[in-house]
A and B are shown apart, each in its own frame.
Chain A
Amino acid sequence: MTTRYTKDHEYIRVEGDAGIVGISDYAQGQLGDVVFVELPSVGKTLSKGDEAAVVESVKAASEVYAPVSGEVVEVNSELESSPGTVNEDAAGRGWFMKIRLTDQSELDGLMTEEQYQEFVKSIS
């Protein structure tokens, strides 16, 4: 199991040929109280960097981008009724979607946990 991060604060936790995508704990803290999440449809094909989901706080809407290319194979529909789960447990129960990767090598361009924590330190 490998977790990688983007500079836009998405994470992908890869298990086999698929990965769980969400936003980092730092990102949920920056957003504040999440009040609405819009998820993609299962079966949707995404290219790396595409808008994959929308997360809205009281103040503003933000896009969640696909950290890798692939097909959406599952979404966390619990977020539609309990969007606050993103604040409570961003890395766990607050996941957004599962993507089947089309190109594992795209992961090489993303940050490791350690690199991401350094990145967060550099911007906060």
Chain B
Amino acid sequence: MAEPAHSDEPLLKTPLHAEHVAVGARMVPFAGYDMPVQYPTGILTEHNWTREHAGLFDVSHMGQAFLVAEDKSHETVARALEALIPADVLNLKPNQQRYSQLLADDGGILDDLMVTRVGAPGHEGWLYLVVNASMKDADYAHIEARLPKGVSLNRKDGLALMALQGPSAAAVLAKLAPETADLPFMMSADVQIDGIWSHVSRSGYTGEDGFEISCHAGDAAKLWTTLLADPEVKPIGLGARDSLRLEAGLCLYGHDIDTTTSPIEAGLIWSIQKRRREEGGFPGAERVQREIKDGAARVRVGIKPEGRAPAREGSVITTPDGREIGIVTSGGFGPTVNGPVAMGYVSKDASAVGTDLHLIVRGKPLPAKVAAMPFAPHRYKR
């Protein structure tokens, strides 16, 4: 068996690092951080626990920042960000959150991110951003270089972020902060949890109902422990986070989306609201609008291998007669599906659900079909 390679670069630690080590998590380098890939019970158990109860994830490695308009105007800050992303920021209601992408001039995706209009009193003209850990330095530099006068970016490296996900998440959090019970999907609130200031949003990346909870780094261990004190909650590592988001059909930056893929190819048109589709005015708008009108030459699809063998990222996709038409961008074993699942890009003519494909795994063609996503149904609180 081959040993995984290890990097010698010094790794950063999240404010919850000691909590992971104390319970015997297996720590691995991820995006420059020493992160828990799994806890002693293992990825399958963690995955299933999250689907059936509630999982708690440390995602403090992700980048949290505020975009602030000096004139305290939502319109000023919204227009500044709309110049960089294709989402409608202007019509966000206070505390509303939206998924979007930082786009390059050619329409390629520089990163994906969450944008929230801050609703706390005295914060008019503030947007809260959450970006990928691996991209945060590049993202912040990209954003800052393109901001108009009077709008500034404040990175908040002193914040921790955790995700509470699963069918029990709402009941668990309601015991600690009753006002979270009625929070709709993609809305947020500032609450006290056991006396700790927390910014809670009804969102996540597992396909389950749940929350992402931001707090000050100094309070993170206490909040983590408070949440884990509920017997419905167990800590979940990056391994299960990946299998959960893959079954949910959600993109992982650097794998399913990157600078070579456009939001339309990636099937993210739902994240571009009507006004922006029509008006454009974001980087790569010409390509995005053309692909909306004419269709993209290749598209991201769900793929279900027919046997038991997983097809991993990088597996070539062919037609049954061997013509190369695409590549797998994420693939593995889906514990809820109880079989292999994958996603990847195929040429448009082979993208209809049910289309027969071959995946080349270890030199051999593996029969597969284009499948509808998500593989495991979303259970968001609408």
Q: Which residues of A contact B (CB under 8 A)?
A: 8-10, 23, 27, 31-33, 35-36, 38, 54-65, 80
Contacts and interface: CB of A to CB of B under 8 A. Distances in A.
* Interface size of B as a range: 20 to 34
A33 B312 contact: no
B37 interface: yes
A59 B239 contact: yes
B1 A65 contact: yes
| 5 closest Cβ pairs, A-B complex | A35-B333, A33-B44, A58-B43, A8-B1, A62-B1
Contacts of B242: 59
B331 to A, nearest CB: 10
A27 B1 CA distance: 8
B305 to A, nearest CB: 10
A55 B1 CA distance: 9
Specify the main secondary structure of chain B where it touches its partner. Answer: mixed
B235 interface: no
B43 A33 contact: yes
Contact of B44 (A9, A10, A58, A80): A58
Given A27-B1, A33-B42, A65-B1, A58 B309 contact: no
Contacts of B332: 58-59
Contacts, number: 57
Contacts of A62: 1-2
Interface in B206-246: 239-240, 242-243
B382 to A, nearest CB: 30
A23 B308 CA distance: 20
Contact of B43 (A59, A64, A65): A59
Nearest to A83: B308
A9 to B, nearest CB: 5
Contacts of A8: 1-3
A30 B123 CA distance: 48
B1 A36 contact: no
B310 interface: yes
B47 interface: yes
B333 A58 contact: yes
B1 A9 contact: yes
B167 interface: no
Contacts of A36: 308-310, 333, 340
A38 B243 CA distance: 21
Given A38-B309, A58-B47, A61-B310, A32 B1 contact: no
B55 interface: no
Contacts of A23: 1
A57 B240 CA distance: 12
